[in-house]
Structure formats: C-alpha cells, structure tokens
Chain A
C-alpha cells in the first residue's frame, strides 16, 4: 500500500538575477489517504513552494512527486485537477474580481464538461455554509471569511481527493479563522479528503494536522507527530525555538475564568 502523496528528494531552484536560488532542497514526505499533514516554518522556509511545486506552479528541478503511486505529468493536465486542488492564502486575491460567485463555481464544471451546473453550484454554496442567495454576488460584496468559503467551494467543485491549503486562515480574523477551520475539518470528515496544509501558526497546524514537518531555509528540519508537539518532544534546536516563540499558544497558556 503506497501513500497517496509521495514526495522524494524534491528540489525547487529558480534563477533570480543571474544566481540560483534554491527554495526547496531535498525534501521528502509522504501523506497517507485521509491524513492531514502540516508544513510549518518561517518565511523563506519553502513551505508554500512545496505546494506550488505539486501543482506545477514552481519548477521541479530535482526529485519526484507521485500522487496515488503515479508520477505527476507535466503539464499537470485535466486529470490532475480532479485529484488535487488548492486553497490560497489571500481570499481577496484568489477570486476573480469581475466574475460572480456563480461563474467562479460553475467554471470548473464547464471546463470538464460536467452537467448539472445549477444544482451543483447551489449545493456547493450550502456545503460551505453560504446562503444560496449569494450565488450572483461579486467578490467585493463578500467579507474575507465568506470569500474564503467560496474559494474552498471552488476547490471542491471537481471532487478532488487532495486539498492543498496554503495558510488558508492567516488573512482572516481570529473568530473567522475558527469558523473556516471548523468548516475544513467537517468537509474532510464528510468527503474523506487528504490535507496538506501550510501555516506559520503552530497552534493552527496542531489543531488541524496529524503529522507536522518543520522546515527551515528550504530543508526539512524535523518531522513530528501532533502528540510530540503537544508534549514538546522535538529533537532539533530550531523546532524548539519555533515552539518557544509560540508558547502563548499552548493549552495552559490561557486559563478559564475561575468562578
């Protein structure tokens, strides 16, 4: 039984101003079906680049990516889009400003020649907790959290097995973040999704993921389970320093009022 996502020795290098920049270097990871895997690190750690490389938005200069045991084709093609979809960080930039929600959601169906767009769009809106009356609104008529719900609905239109989440809540308010995280967890349970999630927030990653990879400067530093994280059982100094900086996000960092 092979893992659903297998990444081996992935290297992503760009040419920038004549010198080579290695955004990701020799990263290997595997994610089982229905698992939720997290990638944490600070800016420049290459965590988002890994997601982009899977989608073909960043050049894979070394190593291999396999989905369901098969190497991904280049260009990724239509079959790939029914298996893997992505939710982007900034909901203000990921929806086309001049398309209605209806168009944004029905376009994937049109591309793949799938029937029943009307019913599917209404169903998708309901699934992500938006009223069907929002169907013909434009993105600027929605709040950030509502936009992110639309972006999630769009990613699920083609019923993919894998959802890549690139800091899906870091642009949102804390209360909206909770709603979106709950939505993602519910959808994962209902639709049997596999998550590969990037975040800089250890608490968010801890809440969402079973296993976590810590990245620094494009390299994998340490891979730990959720349990290890909660009990601070990390082995490398870098992972510990990240953990210490997030100390106020620990469970006992906040105490319930004593009444």
Chain B
C-alpha cells in the first residue's frame, strides 16, 4: 500500500501511465477532502450498485401484479415501501427503476456532451462563418424550453425509452457547445496552441489533442450538474406517457400512475419521487465537488 502510494506520488514518473495515474491520484486526494462531494459520490456509487444487483436485491418481481394486495402502506410485512394500484411492490420497482434511470443517464452522458464538445470546439477554433453558422444552430435549439422540445421530438419519433433518450440528448447538447466554445476561445489564443500550430499540426489534431482536454473539465462539471435535470426530464416524459411505456418500472411513470391516489395513498407517488430527489442531489453534490477539483481556475495553485 505504501509502495503504491510512493509510486503514485513520485515526482519523477518513469512512464506516461505512471504520470497520468499520479495526477488522477492527486485529484482523488483533493476530492476525498471534500465531504459533500464524497457524499455525492457515495450516492452515485450506490445507484450504480443497486442497478447492477437489482435482481438480487429486489424482494419481488417488479412486474408481478397481486390485486388482493393493492395500495398497501409502507411498512407492511413483505412490502417495505408499500404496493401500488396493481399490488406491485414499490421497493422492487424503484430498485429496478434505477437500471432504467442509469441507462438513460449513461446514454445521454455519452451522446450530448460529445456532440456539444465537437460543435463548440470546432466553432470556437475556426471562428468566422463556421462559428456563426454553428452557434446560430445552437441558438435555435436553446430558444426552445427543453421539456417542450423533447416533448415535440418524442411526439414525432413515438414514445419509447430510446426515443426519449434521443430527444433528451438532442435538447441537452447546446449548453455544452456554449461552454466548450467559450473555453476554446480563451485557449485558442494561448501560446501553447500557437506553438503546436508552428510545429505544423493539423486542425483536427490541435482540437482533439490540445483544445478538448482544456474544455473537458468544465463540460464534465456541467454534465454532472445537468444529470439531475436529465433524470427529471426523463421522469417528466414518463409522467406524461411519452417516455418509457408501462408497465416498465420507470420512476417518472410511477409518479404519474400514483398521482390518482396522491391524497389517500401518498406513498405510491412519493417513494419514486424521493428516489429521484436523492439521485439528483447525489449528482449535484458530485458536480460541485468536481468543480472544485477539476476547474483549472480554482485549482491553479
């Protein structure tokens, strides 16, 4: 353990891999000292664990109906968080719902930021008419409220989880493009970009190898902070019946179906709502912590 630590904190790394791991270890040391970020990390880690082990943890089949045991309150033996209007176990449904939430988050997280980074860095690096064209396109997307645009897209594409993800990704990229472009504009005029240009590097090489690494931290922070919003939009689409189709145990859909019983059987809608709340909070805390660790401005010295 101490040997590993010494290896990681060696001021003179012997290989590229050691240098990179050493930097990662330093970042980890910094984030470990941030208690709120660690709390966020624990929540997100738990979400991951629950999603992976869902069939093992869940006491019941999330789809199994039992009409004789419908709308039981939380704390009922065998149904920790109660049952819904079809007698399905809410606890099991929330646990399986974590898989769907994670699936949506993962898909959005690999599509929207990549698209945004690409458009933002290209626009910022080249400037001129390319910048104008790409940024007006971004403005068009930004001009619509996100949920409305996602709704319209799903209405065209038809309901379903893949279409919901596509709609969310298509509405989520413009802010990343803006962040990436702003960052690119400051990086573009720096001496190290001038130096690599003077070495004869091509534009794709400069953008991918030199500009993107500088934009990545701010985009990653934005993505983490936006994840809460993505969960809420996915839930909103589910709530409106335009996202995941029933009987899939998706949290938004569960809130929607519990709405009818909100006054008498409050737990049906509240329990998935709490799950959304906790996971969103986790991502927000993590995003805030990452900002402190990754942001080149705050971590300058």
Q: Which residues of A contact B (CB under 8 A)?
A: 55, 57, 76-78, 80-82, 84-86, 88-90, 93-100, 102-103, 107-108, 111-112, 133-134, 136-138, 141, 151, 154-155, 157-158
Contact = CB atoms under 8 A, between A and B. Distances in A.
A96 B210 contact: yes
Contacts of A99: 210, 213
B12 A137 contact: yes
B48 interface: no
B194 A57 contact: yes
A86 B192 contact: no
Contacts of A88: 191, 194-195
Nearest to A79: B200
A141 B200 CA distance: 27
Given A111-B205, A134-B12, 11 more contacts: A55-B194, A80-B200, A81-B200, A93-B190, A94-B192, A95-B192, A96-B210, A97-B296, A100-B13, A108-B200, A136-B12
B11 interface: yes
Size category, B interface? 20 to 34
Contact of B19 (A112, A137, A155): A137
Contacts of A90: 191
Contacts of B296: 97
B68 interface: no
The 9 closest A-B pairs by CB, nearest first: A81-B200, A94-B191, A78-B200, A136-B13, A136-B19, A133-B12, A108-B199, A88-B191, A96-B192
- Which one of B13, B16, B195, B210 has the highest number of Cβ atoms from chain A below 10 Å of its Cβ? B195
A101 to B, nearest CB: 9
B11 A111 contact: no
B200 A112 contact: yes
Contacts of A86: 194-195, 198
B15 interface: yes
Given A55-B198, A111-B199, A136 B14 contact: yes
7 contacts: A81-B199, A89-B191, A102-B19, A107-B199, A107-B209, A111-B205, A112-B200
Interface in B11-53: 11-16, 18-19, 23
A76 B13 CA distance: 36
Contact of B196 (A78, A80, A107): A107
B240 interface: no
B199 A158 contact: yes
A94 B13 CA distance: 22
Contacts of B202: 111
A3 B209 CA distance: 37
Interface in B175-233: 190-192, 194-202, 205, 209-210, 213-214
Contact of B198 (A85, A93, A102, A136): A85
B191 A93 contact: yes
A98 to B, nearest CB: 5
Nearest to A103: B16
A85 B19 CA distance: 28
A252 B87 CA distance: 99
A190 B196 CA distance: 25
A111 B200 CA distance: 7
A97 B214 CA distance: 9
A134 B13 CA distance: 8
A94 B19 contact: no
A155 to B, nearest CB: 8
A100 B195 CA distance: 15
Contacts of B18: 136
B192 A102 contact: no
Contacts of B198: 55, 57, 76, 81, 84-86
A93 B300 CA distance: 13
Contacts of A158: 199
Given A111-B199, A136-B12, A136-B14, A93 B205 contact: no
A72 to B, nearest CB: 13
Nearest to A55: B198
Nearest to B23: A138
Contacts of B210: 96, 99
